[in-house]
Amino acid sequence: MGVVPLPQVSRRWLRYTIALAIFALLLLYLYHRSQRGLSGCGSGAQPCVSEGPPPSQILQQWGALEAPERGEPPCLGPRGMLGRLVRPFRASLSLDGDVELSQYLAGWRELIKFLTPFGSIFTFATSEAFTKVTALEARVHGPEAAHYKTLVTMAAWERRAGRLERPGAAPPDSARSSGSRTALLLHRALRWSQLCLRRVATGAHRGPSAGEQCSDAYSAVLGPHHPWLVRQAARLAFLSFPGRGRLLELACPRTTEAEARAALARAAATLEEVYNRTQGLLAERGLLQLA
């Protein structure tokens, strides 16, 4: 007796059902994690390489041979979203080569505000980042705040105090993670955010979509540190990623495309500078394997 093939409509609904089931499982997974980190770049101490042209070349590439006469677009100003994001991250880069944690975390709070309207995939990412920012802020402003001024002082004190986890050993309660481990997870998440924003700013009209480019960045940076279920749900979420034009409009409203691209590239360059310094400091202290 032959097997009757499923009608085309039934197979389509089966695919939809599977996708919805995976997404529902992801939500359940995130809920349980919130009741008891965002991770990311490669765990080795590989060198950091700048990706894409600098902001000035972005303006040239998209038809503006020099900066607009009126100066920076409003989104990079004191009240603009990108301006509020960039300033604390820049301030976190101390002159002695360290990273000031209070400014770094203030930058992360602005980054979370900036990314949240971009869609469900960023909501997933920023919800975990928010938890980690809050946990590290509790140390920076807590009773042991003197040891949590900078990344270097934190790492040195936690090593002396025996608070660092064994490499690759996750604590049973994420709330008890060392500050260094929490900073590592945020550091990885910053790399994905930076790569995604850079690719949105520099991507060609006829090239891969913003969703494809940010999905590729996720697969390279965060995917290796996430469970299979989260990776599959993230892959599906990227299918509904906003188009490049919409992302540029959200990032830098009421400007030309060239201005928006240049402003977003400039913000991504700042994130990359912070990432590269943090990467070097963590690598020097053997902390890239904590998670």
29 in a domain, yes or no? yes
CB atoms within 10 A of CB 52: 17
Q: Compute the distance between CA of residue 267 and CA of residue 55 in angstroms, rounded to an integer.
A: 9
Percentage of residues of the chain with pLDDT beyond 70:
71
Mean pLDDT across the stretch 121-134?
Answer: 79
Burial class (CB in 10 A: 0-12, 13-18, 19+), 249: middle
- Cα separations in angstroms, 199 against 122, 212, 247, 283: 15, 10, 11, 26
Mapping DSSP to helix (H, G, I), strand (E, B) and coil, where does residue 99 land? strand
Query: In the predicted model, is pLDDT for residue 152 greater than 70?
Result: yes
More reliable by pLDDT, 144 or 291: 144
290 in a domain, yes or no? no
Query: In the predicted model, is pLDDT for residue 49 greater than 90?
Result: no
Mean pLDDT across the stretch 134-156?
Answer: 96
Structural domain span for residue 204? 8-284
289 in a domain, yes or no? no
Query: In the predicted model, is pLDDT for residue 32 greater than 70?
Result: no
Low-confidence winner among 22-31, 88-97, 100-109 (lowest mean pLDDT): 22-31
CATH of residue 230:
1.10.3520.10
Number of domains in the chain: 1
Range among 43-47, 168-172, 283-287 rated most confident: 283-287
Q: Which of 86, 101, 134, 133 is nearest to 272 (CA)?
A: 86
pLDDT, residue 209, reads 77
User: Which secondary structure element, helix H or strand E, spans residue 150, and what is its range?
Assistant: none
227 in a domain, yes or no? yes
88 in a domain, yes or no? yes
pLDDT, residue 232, reads 77
CB atoms within 10 A of CB 162: 7
How many helices, marked H, and strands, marked E, lie in the chain?
Answer: 11, 0
**Cα dihedral: 73, 74, 76, 79 (round 10):** 170
Tens of pLDDT, residues 204-254: 877 777 878 887 887 777 767 777 887 777 777 777 777 889 889 989 999
Q: Compute the distance between CA of residue 24 and CA of residue 30 in angstroms, rounded to an integer.
A: 10
142 in a domain, yes or no? yes
Low-confidence winner among 35-44, 86-95, 129-138 (lowest mean pLDDT): 35-44
More reliable by pLDDT, 176 or 160: 160
43 in a domain, yes or no? yes
Query: In the predicted model, is pLDDT for residue 275 greater than 80?
Result: yes
19 in a domain, yes or no? yes
Q: What is the largest CA-CA distance in the chain?
A: 79
User: pLDDT category, 50, cuts 50, 70, 90?
Assistant: low
